[in-house]
Structure 1
Amino acid sequence: MDQHLIVFKEVAQRKNFSRAAKELHMSQPAVSQYIAALEKELGVRLLERSNKFVELNRAGEIVYQYAQKILRNYDQMRILVSDLENEPSGQLKIGASYTIGEYVLPRFLAKLQEEFPNIIPTVTIGNTEDIGAKLVQHEIDIGLVEGNFTHHQVSTRQFATDEMYIIAGTGQSFKEEACISIKDLENETWIIREEGSGTRKMLEDFFQRSNLEPKRILTFGSTQTIKEGVESGLGISLLSNLTFKKEQKLKKIQRIFVEGTPIKRKFSIIKNYHEFQPKALQVFENLVKQEA
């Protein structure tokens, strides 16, 4: 592999020759020589230097973007060739939206560890839009998301169906199993997830379908915080049935039955279109489909 691109990528990321040299286990003069040789080969300056740091100029930004792709493709090639002769192994970067990552993924990972101990998963959890963006930027290998994510370079395949319910604290004046009218919910405080969340998108769609205009909305950044708010009587919310089973069993949260609920949504596997895929990714995808 071209060592010039490896060195350049490290300098671009560290913005410092000394830190790049330390990471690459090289001397600083050797790093400087590689950068000088690459600039000479391309006939253009790539870095703007100062005493303390270096910055990419416009030409450097172009080279950096292509260097990332070239090095990533080289690593992918090595993995795929190795897969021809070896059992699935190596690092697998998995992204998951919050509901799946916190309540579904651990079961998949336990099964993966049991059947393929040489696969080392690393997990990123975020909202659906975050996970989709990381996949497009090749920061993860595969994503498990709730709701919809569409992009021209991403394939989507449903692996499960989820049910969502409106919930309230047991101290609030709702009777579980009783059917509540939508109009009764208009004056309630609604606790919702942040922009980009699949859960929030489902709730916004429900508001629109039901012509419901809540008088007061609070936005929280996690499902756990929303549940605690609901338990305390702060407001009501819409969450996946997977997320509040324990609280319901302990009689801290109750489901409210309203026309149009429960709301069903799909859980999907998203991945980049590739002609070839590493064995580790293939076995994880198959495991998710089987276990779900």
Structure 2
Amino acid sequence: MELKQLLYFKEIANQKSITKAAEQIHISQPALSKSIKSLEEELGTPLIIRTNKTMDLTDAGKTVLEYTQKITSLVDEMKLTVSDLTNLSVGELNIGLPPFIGSLFFPEVMKNFHRSYPNIKLDITEYGGARVVKSVEEGEFELGVAVLPLDERIFNVYPIVKEKMKLIVQKDHPLASYSKVNVKDLRDEEFIFYHEDFALNQIIRNHFFTIAGFEPKILFKSMQWDLMSELVAADLGVTILPESICNRLFTKDIQIIDLEPTIMWKLAVITRKGKYISNAGRKFIDFILTDPL
């Protein structure tokens, strides 16, 4: 069994297609199929259920994928460690960012960090917050930015942002004249809400609506804060957004209102406990903590 075979298998699982995987790793489809067939023969069991249009993993395939992710994470960690020992002036940093957070804060952070450390390459991937957390835990990203709270038995947490969540309603909504609204008064409202990939989906449900004793009526789900605000402006529902996003809303057709009880939006850089952090990663953490957002 070769590491190359496991990397090929991982790409097939990610792409859910042998054809697409072959394109991504720049080998022929027959060569890729032959490599996976050899891996299956060595393990003595099929790993992939093949159909005309797509493919799924067998139970054995899911197990192999789980171990492959652990192996590739260790290989990446080894490369980082050796690189740090041999060349302290350069580096590469894999960071996972939720789209909300990336567009709000990080263009300026990346610009300033690049000026300070021009030889460190930043590889940024945008995922929903829940997937960022999972990817940091599994070793896909060295660093991630996530919404708190998190399990600090698993992650090192470096807080960077703390601000209030606000209620957004259409300007002619009955609540628009209020300076503050209690969550219990939102029982009958229809919500423009966060997609399940966003950590805020569960955080607001668990720490807001559950305490208030009702389940929100969700009309639309979105992964884009600007679309959420536009849907509110069109009087299709209400939503809850972080204060820094509210400060970027320029439509005159909405009203921004304080909530009670107060919901805090807390962001942190996270790393997995027990995992080696590269010099580049440590420099980034030190940089963002000394130059607050």
The bucket for the TM-score relative to the shorter chain is: 0.7 to 0.9
Question: Which residue identity does 1:166 align to in structure 2?
Answer: L
Task: Tell me by how many angstroms 1:228 deviates.
Answer: 1.0
* Partner SS for 2:222: coil
Question: Following the alignment from structure 2 to structure 1, what is the Cα–Cα distance between the partners of residues 105 and 6?
Answer: 40
* Matched-pair contact (CA < 8 Å) for 1:176–1:257: no
* Matched-pair contact (CA < 8 Å) for 2:113–2:284: yes
Question: Which residue identity does 1:279 align to in structure 2?
Answer: N
Question: Following the alignment from structure 1 to structure 2, what is the Cα–Cα distance between the partners of residues 13 and 183?
Answer: 47
Match of 2:291 in 1: 291
- 1:241 corresponds to which of 237, 240, 243: 243
Match of 1:206 in 2: 208
> 1:47-97, CA deviations, whole angstroms, 9 ceiling, x for partnerless residues?
6799x9999887776666545544442332232222134235343221123
Alignment pair present for 1:9 and 2:7: yes
Question: Following the alignment from structure 1 to structure 2, what is the Cα–Cα distance between the partners of residues 10 and 116?
Answer: 33
Match of 1:110 in 2: 111
Question: Following the alignment from structure 2 to structure 1, what is the Cα–Cα distance between the partners of residues 78 and 148?
Answer: 32
TM-score, length-normalised on structure 1? Answer: 0.75
* Matched-pair contact (CA < 8 Å) for 2:70–2:138: no
* Matched-pair contact (CA < 8 Å) for 1:94–1:124: yes
> 1:95-142, CA deviations, whole angstroms, 9 ceiling, x for partnerless residues?
123431221222222222221222222222233221111222222221
* Matched-pair contact (CA < 8 Å) for 2:93–2:122: yes
Compare 85-94 and 176-185 and name the one that shifted more: 176-185
Change (3 A) 1:75 1:234: closer
Alignment pair present for 1:274 and 2:292: no
Alignment pair present for 1:131 and 2:129: no
Question: Following the alignment from structure 2 to structure 1, what is the Cα–Cα distance between the partners of residues 190 and 101?
Answer: 26
Question: Following the alignment from structure 2 to structure 1, what is the Cα–Cα distance between the partners of residues 239 and 169?
Answer: 7
Match of 2:192 in 1: 191
* Partner SS for 2:173: coil
Match of 1:82 in 2: 83
* Partner SS for 1:286: helix
Question: Following the alignment from structure 2 to structure 1, what is the Cα–Cα distance between the partners of residues 93 and 125?
Answer: 11
Change (3 A) 1:20 1:254: closer
Question: Following the alignment from structure 1 to structure 2, what is the Cα–Cα distance between the partners of residues 256 and 56?
Answer: 48
Question: Following the alignment from structure 1 to structure 2, what is the Cα–Cα distance between the partners of residues 188 and 271?
Answer: 38
Question: Following the alignment from structure 2 to structure 1, what is the Cα–Cα distance between the partners of residues 101 and 107?
Answer: 9
Task: Tell me by how many angstroms 1:163 deviates.
Answer: 1.2
Q: How does 1:84-99 map to 2 (within 5 A)?
A: 84-99=85-100
Question: Which residue identity does 1:6 align to in structure 2?
Answer: K
Task: Tell me by how many angstroms 1:210 deviates.
Answer: 3.3
- Identity score, percent: 22
Change (3 A) 1:195 1:69: closer
Mind listing any 5+ residue stretches in structure 1 that lack a counterpart?
Answer: none
Question: Following the alignment from structure 1 to structure 2, what is the Cα–Cα distance between the partners of residues 65 and 198?
Answer: 23
> What is the RMSD of the two structures over their aligned residues, measured on CA atoms?
4.0
Structure with the greater alpha carbon radius of gyration = 1
Match of 1:172 in 2: 173
Q: How does 1:63-78 map to 2 (within 5 A)?
A: 65-66=66-67, 68-78=69-79
Compare 108-117 and 146-155 and name the one that shifted more: 146-155
Mind listing any 5+ residue stretches in structure 2 that lack a counterpart?
Answer: none
Q: How does 1:254-273 map to 2 (within 5 A)?
A: 254-261=255-262, 263-273=263-273
Change (3 A) 1:170 1:276: same
* Matched-pair contact (CA < 8 Å) for 2:184–2:212: no
Task: Tell me by how many angstroms 1:267 deviates.
Answer: 0.9
* Matched-pair contact (CA < 8 Å) for 1:96–1:144: yes
Change (3 A) 1:212 1:255: farther
